[in-house]
Structure 1
């Protein structure tokens, strides 16, 4: 059962609010460098037994500072992962990307670029630019337009209630 957009938005707002308000054991935000040059790089972050990894290759410009946030819902039933460039539009061209959740099955995922005019408005990538599987979100060869500024994923954990 997929989360509807309103439920996703509410969860995202709560996750980001908690992340920005204070560091706690349910959310974590870390900074990492996205490096151009065409080589494949991976950045990962864990929260308890759950993990999010972002694998990419990019060209152009210089290193950019990006953020990765991971979080668990209060009942441990949802694991979220967001990867984004806080300064707005990325000036790098992504030749590939893949995000993977370990320990959770994806229920919602979306990837975004930003408009050229001001670069402050998120634009959802077209459905034919990326594919969502049970545990991965991946670019589609020949369809992905090499622009990425944010990736958001929410997965249902395999957490069982007693």
Structure 2
């Protein structure tokens, strides 16, 4: 349990550092938020956004309902060392059932990632998926077959770039 708490503390520290590094009024060449449709029907779709040579791709398949508007935000820290990607439904709870999902950050090594679902109760915030529902690799965050509950409302990943000092 202590190890899990330490990991959570480290993950939170990375997130806080990134939030402090990327100012809210960051220039458009460092942050970007784009709207896209998440489409049901069980077909695999991919949505990709990039800043410079860093890229975030969100691949998914979902069932039920109709198209939903989602957002993807990508950001690059002022020192070019951290690249972030967040994918979420601005209205909160998604009514689609996701059969799979994967976020991939190109040009980085993931330092922090988490996936969330939202409970049906009004006013409640996103709840992290159980750790057994997804895996975090060097450059991907992926659902786990047979463990993922099919509920997704947000996914966040922060990667350390391979930026070298001169």
| TM-score normalised according to structure 1 size | 0.91
Could you tell me which of 26, 30, 33 is aligned with 1:26?
A: 30
CA deviation map 1:36-90 (0-9, x unaligned): 0000000000100000000000000000000000000010000000000001100
| Superposition deviation, residue 11 in structure 1 | 2.2
Residues 26 and 72, structure 1, Cα contact 8 Å, conserved in 2 = yes
Deviation at 1:6, TM superposition (A): 3.2
In 1, distance between residues paired with 2:88 and 2:78?
23
TM-score by length of 2: 0.89
Gaps of 5+ in 2: 1-6
CA apart distance, 1:102: 0.4
Determine the structure 2 residue equivalent to 1:133: 137
Match of 1:73 among 62, 67, 77: 77
Matched residues, number: 158
> Paired residue for 1:60?
64
1:124 equivalent in structure 2: 128
Residue in 1 aligned with 2:13?
6
Corresponding residue number in structure 2 for 1:92:
96
Q: CA RMSD in A?
A: 1.7
Of 142, 154, 160, the match for 1:156: 160
Contact 1:88 1:119 (C-alpha < 8 Å) held by counterparts? no
Over 3 Å counting, the alpha-carbon distance change for 1:14 and 1:63 in structure 2 is farther
Segments of structure 1 that go 5 or more residues without pairing to the other structure are none
* Contact in 2 for aligned 1:112/1:148 (Cα 8 Å): yes
